[in-house]
Amino acid sequence: MASRLGRVLVLAGAALTLVAATMPAQAESADKILKSANVEHVANLPKKGAFTGPDAFNSDLAFQGDYAYQGNYNGFTIYSIKDPAKPKVVSQVTCEGAQNDVSVKGDLLFLSVDDPRDSDSCKSDYGTPTSKKSWEGIRIFDISDKSRPKYIKAVETACGSHTHTLVPDKSGKSVYLYVSSYMPADIYPECKPPHDRISIVKVPLKKPTDAKVVSRPVLFPEGGNEQQSGLLLPTSGCHDITVFPSKNLAAGACMGDGVLMDISDRERPKVTATVTDENFAFWHSATFNNTGTKVVFTDELGGGASATCNATIGAKRGADAVFDIVDGELVHKSYYKISRHQDSSENCVAHNGSLIPVKGKDIMVQAWYQGGVSIWDFTDSSAPKEIGYFERGPLKPRSIGGSWSAYYYNGFIYSSDIQKGFDVLRISDKLTDPAAKVRLSILNTQTQLPF
């Protein structure tokens, strides 16, 4: 979600009201499941405990072995997915701090906190954004005992950590976290403009308590895209970064800009190509194909709170854009957006997804908030097409919801639903069936390792 909680969610909410006024209501009943014939709804675990409230948004997912890790604005949950048809909660940690986007490495779990807190403690309260005493950044947990995660370290970063990307170093002894954050203002003592940079945290794997910020590279020395009409926010950093370590390559979705980066020097990434698009309001995330020759960028029009999957908005806004990488440059080939128009109350826009590992094909599963989950093929960059989907009817009472992240892992699709919990899906289709043979030991989706 684009909006920094407590700072611009009101902006996105206003967009929802504006768009809703232009659209007629549809007839689907609340929570009715709609899906293509090739998609099976295998399981659902509702939110529980401290995460049941409507403001306890489920967020991103990561996977390792037989476990799935789900962020939530109130903390995180660890699931056993040894039997995907019967997922089980192993533990739930209450530790407030939007968005609590999550990644894992070995016995370590990392959370992004983009919400000023009055301390770095899991018992902290919402802090004062204008106070130097407020904290936001990265929290690190020891998850060697999955039933009892242990909070071991906090690293403060400028402007917080809206998202982070785990980047392995070349020795295997450390990992880097590329921290994306944005929305500087003169009233924020540790987040003043210009903020055309990211923060890089180095975590020694054998001594993670020594984790610290090692660099703050400027990606946009000339300011980035700040003038384009229709931007949700001008470029002031990045929203999300995806890395392709084997090629020393990264793609950044940076608010008003899409970029390619050379990450040969992990602590000093360099922008090598930049692109803008008149139809994009907020460059949100990026996904490479398996050969690192294409990038799918998403436009989170309305900040994730708006009803944008409708005829009024059209097929080119709030969509994906498929780019080929040609001689180091990004060449636009097409747009992709779900064709099912959603109810006027349903927040719906392109969001987080991952590749389905089919050799020789470019197939992706993707979350669309209340637009549900879409499985689509972009092997032909110029003619992407949907091959399966899953969604629910509009939430009642009306609220922000739907699939935040939908990722393919070891034969199943896992969806983090903001309000409805943890969904397990399976697609049976001749195009995707070969993926069931691929087994991964870990999946942090923004760290793309070729299958």
pLDDT of residue 28: 60
User: Under 8 Å CB-to-CB from 176, ≥6 apart: which residues?
Assistant: 166, 167, 168, 169, 200, 201, 202, 203, 214, 266, 267
CA-to-CA separations, 168 to 165, 434, 446, 450, in angstroms, rounded: 10, 28, 12, 14
- How far is it, in rounded angstroms, from Cα 153 to Cα 75? 15
Instruction: Domains for the chain: give ranges and CATH numbers.
Output: 9-443 (2.130.10.10)
Mean pLDDT by 10 residues, the chain (451 residues): 48 35 46 95 97 97 99 98 98 97 98 97 96 97 98 98 97 97 95 96 98 98 96 97 98 98 98 98 98 98 98 98 98 98 97 98 98 98 98 95 98 98 98 97 97 92
Please give the pLDDT value at position 11. 37
- Reference 137, options 190, 204, 88, 92; nearest CA is 190
CA–CA separation, 189 and 405 (whole Å)? 33
- State the DSSP H helix or E strand holding residue 147, giving kind and residue range, or none if neither: none
- The verdict on pTM exceeding 0.75 is yes
Q: By C-alpha distance, which of 176, 181, 316 is closest to 250? A: 176
| Maximum distance among all Cα pairs of the chain, rounded to whole angstroms | 57
Measured between alpha carbons, how far is 348 from 89 in angstroms, rounded to an integer? Answer: 28
Enumerate helices (H) and strands (E) in the chain, giving the number of each.
1, 30
Q: Which residues pair with 280 in a beta bridge?
A: none
At residue 396, the pLDDT reads 92
Contacts of 342 (CB under 8 A, 6+ apart): 26, 307, 309, 310, 348, 370, 371, 394
pLDDT value for 1: 79
Cβ(6)–Cβ(188) below 8 Å: no
Handedness of CA 45, 49, 52, 57 (dihedral sign): negative
- The count of C-alpha atoms lying within 13 angstroms of the C-alpha of 232, restricted to the half-sphere facing its C-beta, is 34
* Half-sphere exposure in the Cβ direction for 72 (13 Å, CA): 30
Closest C-alpha among 407, 336, 406, 417 to residue 370 = 417
Q: Both tokens of residue 367?
A: 């979350």
Residue-level pLDDT at 31: 75
How crowded is residue 432: how many other Cβ atoms within 10 Å of its Cβ?
23
**What is d(CA 2, CA 98) in angstroms, rounded to the nearest whole number?**
11
> 296 with 320: CB under 8 angstroms?
yes
